[in-house]
Structure 1
Amino acid sequence: MTPNASAASAPSRRSFLASTAVVAAAVAGGVPLLSACGASDSGSGGGSSEGKGVKKLLPAFVASNVVTPDIASKNGSSIGFTSKLDLAGLKTSVTKKLGKGGKVSIMSPFWGSPPKSDNAYYKAMNSLIGVDVTWQNQDGNTYDQKLGAVLASSDIPDVVVVPSWNMGGKIPSAIIGKFADLGPYLAGDKAKDYPNLAAIPTDAWQRCIFGGKLRGLPMPSSYVPNIVPLYRKDIFDKEGYEVPTSADEFMALAKEITNAKAKRWACLDMKWTAFNMWGVLSGSEKSLGWNLVDGKMIYRVETPEYLEALEWTRKLFAAGYVHPDAKLGKSAATDPGPKFAAGEFLIYNQDISQWWSRTAEQATQNPDYKIWGMDIFGHDGGDPTLWAGSPAGIFAFISKKASASVIHDALAVANVTAAPYGTKEYMLTNYGVEGTHYTVKNGVPTKTDQGNNEVINAYVMVASPASTIAHPDFPEVAKAQVEWQQRMGAFTKKSSFYGQQITEPSRYTNLSNDFEQLEDDITRGRKKISDMQQAVSDWKSKGGDQLRAWYQKLLDDNGSAAS
């Protein structure tokens, strides 16, 4: 039960460009292409959510005291709950129905088959909130296309959910042109009318500023890097393998584990972990790849550490320590669960949420199975240097055409969906109606078939509470996940543009697109490190140096939000 974990496992760095040509129509007719601070590049747009006076746009933070977590947030970690669920002891975080009975239409990405519109879950949520929500669920796999078309039209739903990986092309400009300023309803002490929204961390709210206005409602996340080197602890313990603490130790362990004849390899592609071992700037978002170093703006691909991480990963592949599926892009690379459970490889890196999901799926059929997470180490055996990710990655926006009453009703929805774990509102939002959508045995809620069909990715994307990890079925995993984040958070730094909603000028939209494929070609031996050095040189001459100057001006004009 990790509601704020990545909606999809570690999305590719490559921009999921929304239909740029289509969305361009949405911002035609004089709508400015600039973001908050107005930094621009020959009229090609772009900008940042940071700027002088930005703090007054944000909701006043009022910590929730309705529920006390078992493990408090530390070093940017999620909060954690390790106790069994006591339905009789659930708290109430929404003491009065804030909705006024109006209708609110919401468009959201959806993975799976959307339930019928009159299902019991939707009815129960609408009754609790006091709002008649109508869902316009769209296939999450092709959401960028639908989003582009809708934002280019005049018929926009009252609320539209936009994940950060769908914010390519002209989408940020369309957000500025099409969605309402929520400042009059939430800025400063106004947020106290919606206590659960006021309890959302300030960093997450700052990510919701577009065009100098507070326009979004966030799904907060921990800024600690979310990619964990996961390993088969049960096999490690049985074979006497020791968890490595340096790049050389990892390579030696990989050699010891690998026995191709016995169909056992050490790992899958460990590129993401290599980047963390060498302290490479984050690749999860374009702006997070930039940082001011000794007075100069540097991009992640220009650093020697970037090349060293690729070279180490290439050596893993070349030595034959990586499962063949990873080299060929086959099943284990896309769904590591089955072959990891079979012991064909013992280490892989993926989103922290898989620590629990892999545990849960093997619990009954493979009782000896134990997946655990390695701490990230510096490549030389010292402390790692990690770089913060985004404090929010999914956002909901309210149409500029919405009346004040519709905006209030939409905020009433968000105030319920942002309820903290351990409340009645949280249970209904995430599990549905007891007895209909879930049952509880020994303090562990389990969804029924109806729950699995109806209570899936909908309301939680309107807004969510502070990043939370709670697994009453496997409390030891929840504890381990939070404590891993706390330890890694102690080594996590914030780069120059941390927490800002950056929109690069459109002329640079595709500038860095080819790096990820080239990384994979190099690590798999199809290209050489020298090919990357040439690509970086080409990148500089084709606009990289101009983009550097643009980021430098952005920092000079507005300062850094990192602290």
Structure 2
Amino acid sequence: MTPNAASASSGPSRRSFLASTAVATAAVAGGMPLLAACGGADSGSREGTTSGKDAKKILPAYVASNVVTPDIPAKNGSPIGFTSKLDLTTLKTSVPKKLGKGGKVTIMSPFWGSPPKQDNPYYKGMNDLIGVDVVWQNQDGNTYDQKLGAVLASSDVPDVVVVPSWNMGGKIPSAIISKFADLGPYLSGDAVKEYPNLAAIPTDAWQRCIIGGKLRGLPMPQSYVTGIVPLYRKDIFDKEGYEVPRTADEFLALAKEITNAKAKRWACLDMKWTAWQMFGVLSGSEKPLGWNLVDGKMINRIETEEYLEALEWTRKLFAAGVVHPDALMGKNAPDPGPKFAAGEFLIYSNNISQWWSRTAEQATQNPEFKIWGMDVHGHDGGDPTVWAEQPAGIFAYVNKKASEAVIRDVLAVANVTAAPYGTKEYMMTNYGVEGTHYTVKDGVPIKTTAGNNQVMNAYVMVASPAATLAHPDFPEVTKAQVEWQQRMGAFTKKSSFFGQMITEPARYTNLSNDFEQLEDDITRGRKKISDMQQAVSDWKKKGGDQLRDWYKKLLDDNGSAAS
């Protein structure tokens, strides 16, 4: 098991941020001020103004870490990469002295899996390293919305509460403003230098933590370059002489060549996510990212020609019979891994983390197996337009009632969990205690049973380092992943609300609910493109045009954080 500290995701599912057993990775991203958080659900309050000069007064100073030098530096918004073997004797120390003062800190966080007992060796080892007694109140991540709402509505709020961006609905934003502390006095400007690992977190990620005009959160950064990759069986492509397609038409022609239903081989799964990229459709991972100012007018992704063209192309794939039957099941389709490994289909779109995880799965049982990522091209073969995702997606907030001593202890926790790859603190945070939770063989850390059971999505959610990819067992995959994102980053644009945390007025909450199902109905031939055009027309009348005006005013009042 190898670290994948923030494998840039843009989200097929909320749980894909658990892409690595080594560390939780955010799949649904985030980015800057919560502009509609004060004064009721319909408010576009200027209290949230955090673009330009206002933000600069609030944001922590950025001081790049020089503790460890990555093998592959970040470029065009990519993660950093590490390809070398791990040598525990040369691990660096990024926190030379304990900053914790021995206090007790309670943290409520979502958890996917079975939470370990509080007195387990991992929690004990981390708390000793930090100098803080962290007591976890882990909650089921699948039902976290309900628990979060209940806790924030009560008077009994833990010292720290972790809130993923996808849980930012309803009254949660206003509760964050009323219940959680301003960390600005501890972190804004040069104050952050007391916590060097926090100072090394990219500014984009911190922007998302400004809510109601105050720096309230600690971020889990991620690359803003899309992490959705068209993955393919390179070994079979090489064997059969297939060439990676560069246009939408070439893809369809190749798919027809590959497909032989009688031999149980199809070209691909549902390629809708790749279609969005090929046709330059605005991101659908978060509502604000679906809006963009074009020639002075606010446009939503569903109103664009590119959106309809991407749906039509995806529909052609299904109509041609080149899509594996499992994809007809939509969200309920089984895990693609086994049938991809068996060669039943050769291409599918998914999170970049699967590039490594599929490689690791098949390494011993199927040595010929080679998964790789296709570069995304424009549908006509030209340069693509790929839209940026948000640069952070999970945040930790500190109780407003917390004393300065408790806040300092929380920051001591975060300064350890944000340690970069290649440090003792990173290894403890992501792997636990050597010998108990992991061993190292040929420079590759391997988790024990205790490691898999105890070192799970916990401390990393308090704060994490800059987006990082590191797979010492498959360095060629690390290199390929980072370089793929660097190439795609060169064609990545930031839409008008990149880097902002925005909660739409409550009356629009369900306005777009039916579009994903309609997309699937159209691509699978159950509905027509004209049905989508009608749905968009209805959407405008039911509130889409009013929502457009709301976003335009938001942009006029506060400006854009995209640069």
Q: Do they fold alike, i.e. is TM over 0.5?
A: yes
Structure-2 change in CA distance of 1:40 and 1:379 (3 Å): farther
Contact 2:83/2:476 (CA < 8 Å) preserved in 1? yes
Q: Distance in 1 between matches of 2:115 and 2:232?
A: 35
Residue of 9, 12, 22 corresponding to 1:10: 12
Q: Is 165-174 or 362-371 further displaced after alignment?
A: 165-174
Output the amino acid matched with 1:335. D
CA deviation vs aligned residue, 1:314-348 (integer Å, no higher than 9, x gap): 111111111111112376x3411111111111000
Cα deviation digits, residues 244-278 of structure 1 (max 9, x gap): 00000000010001111111111000001000100
For 1:420, give the aligned amino acid. Answer: P
Does the residue aligned with 2:299 lie in a helix, a strand or coil?
A: strand
Residues 1:521 and 1:415: Cα distance change in structure 2 (over 3 Å): same
Return the alpha-carbon distance in structure 1 between the equivalents of residues 38 and 182 of structure 2.
22
Cα 1:484–1:84 shift into 2, 3 Å: same
Q: What's the secondary structure of 1:53's corresponding residue?
A: helix
CA distance in 2, matches of 1:529, 1:132: 57
Deviation at 1:294, TM superposition (A): 1.0
Cα distance, 1:45 vs structure 2: 2.7
Q: How far off its partner does 1:6 sit?
A: 6.3
Output the CA distance in 2 between the equivalents of 1:139 and 1:165.
Answer: 15
* Partner in structure 1 of residue 369 of structure 2: 369
Map of 1:441-520 to 2, 5 A cutoff? 441-520=441-520
Deviation by residue 1:479-518 (Cα, 9 ceiling, x = unmatched): 0000000000000001111111112112211111111111
Q: Retained in 2: the 8 A contact 1:419–1:464?
A: yes
C-alpha distance in 2 between matches for 1:361 and 1:6: 21
C-alpha separation in 2, matches of 1:336 and 1:278 = 25
Give the TM-score, by structure 2 length.
0.94
* Counterpart secondary structure, 2:507: helix
- How far apart, CA to CA, are the structure 2 residues paired with 1:392 and 1:139? 21
**1:391 pairs with 2:409:** no
Q: 1:420 deviation in Å?
A: 0.2
In the alignment, the residues of structure 2 paired with residue 143 and residue 43 of structure 1 have an alpha-carbon distance, to the nearest angstrom, of 21
Looking at structure 1, the residues matched to 299 and 50 of structure 2 have their Cα atoms a distance apart, in angstroms, of 20
Residue 50 (structure 1) shift: 3.1
CA–CA distance in structure 2, aligned partners of residues 455 and 40 of structure 1: 38
Match of 1:26 in 2: none
* d(CA) in 1 for partners of 2:410, 2:147: 22
Please name the residue that 1:202 is paired with: 203
Instruction: Verify the 8 A CA contact 1:60 1:188 in the aligned structure 2.
Output: yes
Which residue matches 1:310?
311
**Matched residue type, 1:306:** Y
Distance 1:9 1:354, change over 3 A: farther
Identity of aligned residues (%): 81
By how many angstroms is 1:387 displaced? 0.5
1:281 is paired with a residue of what secondary structure? coil
1:186-218 CA distances to partner (integer Å, 9 max, x unpaired)? 000010011000000000000011111111100
Q: Is the 8 A contact 1:49 1:206 kept in 2?
A: no
* Alpha-carbon distance change, 440 to 528 in structure 1, aligned in 2, over 3 angstroms: same
Q: How many pairs does the alignment contain?
A: 541
Paired residue type of 1:57: I
CA contact (8 A) 2:37 2:212 kept: no
Amino acid aligned to 2:42: S
- Structure 1 residue 44 corresponds to structure 2 residue 42: yes
SS in 1 for 2:218: strand
- Distance in 2 between residues matched to 1:43 and 1:232, nearest whole Å: 48
1:49 is displaced (CA, Å) by: 5.8
Preserved contact between residue 36 and residue 42 of structure 2 (Cα < 8 Å): no
TM-score w.r.t. the length of structure 1 is 0.94
Q: Specify the code of the residue in structure 2 equivalent to 1:179.
A: F
Letter in 2 for 1:190: A
Q: 1:339 aligns to what SS in structure 2?
A: helix
Shift of 1:408: 0.6
Deviations for 1:7-33, whole angstroms, at most 9, x for unmatched residues? 8962279xxxxxxxxxxxxxxxxxxxx
1:429-448 matched pairs, under 5 angstroms: 429-448=429-448
The answer for the alignment partner of 1:192 in structure 2 is: 193
| SS of corresponding position for 1:109 | strand
Query: How much does 1:236 deviate?
Result: 0.6
Q: How does 1:253-402 map to 2 (within 5 A)?
A: 253-329=254-330, 333-402=333-402
Q: Is this contact kept in 2: 1:49–1:210, CA < 8 A?
A: no
- Asked whether the 8 Å contact 1:170–1:506 carries over to 2, the reply is no
Q: Which residue is equivalent to 1:20?
A: none
The verdict on how the C-alpha distance between 1:49 and 1:270 changes in structure 2, with shifts beyond 3 A counting, is farther
The one-letter amino acid of 1:5's match is S
Q: Which structure 2 residues correspond to residues 7-86 of structure 1 after superposition, within 5 A?
A: 10-11=12-13, 44-46=42-44, 50-51=50-51, 53-86=54-87
Using the alignment, how far apart are the partners of 1:495 and 1:178 within structure 2?
A: 31
Residue aligning to 2:550: 550
Structure 2 residue identity aligned to 1:4: A
Counterpart-to-counterpart distance in 2, 1:452 and 1:37: 40
Contact 1:41 1:505 in 2 (8 A): no
Aligned to 2:423: 423
Once structures 1 and 2 are overlaid, which stretch shifts more, 161-170 or 534-543? 161-170
CA displacement at 1:526 relative to structure 2: 1.2
CA–CA distance in 1 between the matches of 2:163 and 2:40? 28
Question: Structure 2 regions of 5+ residues with no counterpart?
Answer: 16-32
Say whether residues 1:97 and 2:95 are aligned partners. Answer: no
Unaligned 5+ runs, structure 1: 14-34
